[in-house]
Amino acid sequence: MIEEYVHFYSDKLRLEGVLTYNEDVKPFSAILLCNPHPNLGGDMDNNVIGSLAHISAQMGFASLRFNYRGVGNSESYQKDTAEKFLYWEASLSGENYMDAVYDTRAALHFLAEQHIGSRIYIAGYSFGSLVGMRVGVESEMIAAFASISMPFGKYNLDFLAPCKKPKLIIYTRNDFATTEEDTLRCFSKILPPKQLELIQDSDHFYIMKEETVSKKVCSFFQSIGKNEIEKE
């Protein structure tokens, strides 16, 4: 397995990322991975994001995971830790989160420029689900997207209403970021094609369930790719 450290620019800020792929298998598609909130353990080495990168490589994908501005070695306009914390804290109430969307758009364009495979998918975890779905809905480059523990009920998701792209929603009942009621209510309003997966005996962090979650995401994307090839 190859892990290639890369960088690209968003809003004139240099962001870091990692391309992961299997050197023995030519990737047929690529997945852009979006991290949880920076103030809540959200970086590209997060347990779920890291698992997704490694499992996807085993299953024939390439992936790009990256750090938002001000996280890890990614540059920021905020110069010290306290300023960065306050900056990202504001996004929990809806402010600044669009900067994460801008960073994700930049990551998507970088990934597209690598010309890896025929399709690009996007998968987000927690706060990264919000960011990933936002970019997944608006960008013609994204074929489908997966959401893991999306904080339903905390953000305005009207942008999802017209989306007809395939989407996978993964959740667990014991999740501090959302409730099962909010998840099911929001899922009912999303247009098909859509798929809902419950991870039993887990919580928001998916400890010891990372592989299960990752395989569900990658299998979903594989099925989308297979269906699209058959249509062609």
Under 8 Å between Cβ of 209 and 199: yes
Q: What is the mean pLDDT of residues 120-142?
A: 96
pLDDT 10s digits, 70-113: 999 999 999 899 999 999 998 887 777 899 999 999 999 999 99
- Residue 18's DSSP bridge partners are 5, 65
CATH topology of domain 2-231: Rossmann fold (3.40.50)
Domain ranges of the chain: 2-231
Instruction: Classify residue 160 by its DSSP letter.
Output: G
pLDDT level of residue 175 (50, 70, 90 thresholds): very high
Token reading at 139 = 């960008």
The gap between the terminal CA atoms of the chain, to the nearest Å, is 31
Hey, which residues does 147 pair with through a beta bridge? 124, 169
Question: Residue holding tokens 């890369």?
Answer: 6
pLDDT band at residue 8, thresholds of 50, 70 and 90? Answer: very high
CA atoms lying within 13 Å on the CB side of residue 117? 25
Kindly report whether the peptide bond that precedes residue 193 is cis, defined as omega within 30 degrees of 0: yes
Residue 154 is predicted with a pLDDT of: 84
pLDDT tens digits, residue range 43-80? 999 999 999 999 999 999 999 999 999 999 999 999 89
Q: How far apart, in whole angstroms, are the C-alpha atoms of residue 90 and residue 110? A: 27
Q: Please compute, for residue 160, the number of CA atoms within 13 A of its CA located in the half-sphere on the CB side.
A: 27
Give bridge partners of residue 31 from the DSSP assignment.
63, 121
DSSP 25-93: S--SEEEEEE---GGGT-STT-HHHHHHHHHHHHTTEEEEEEPPTTSTT---SS-SHHHHHHHHHHHTT
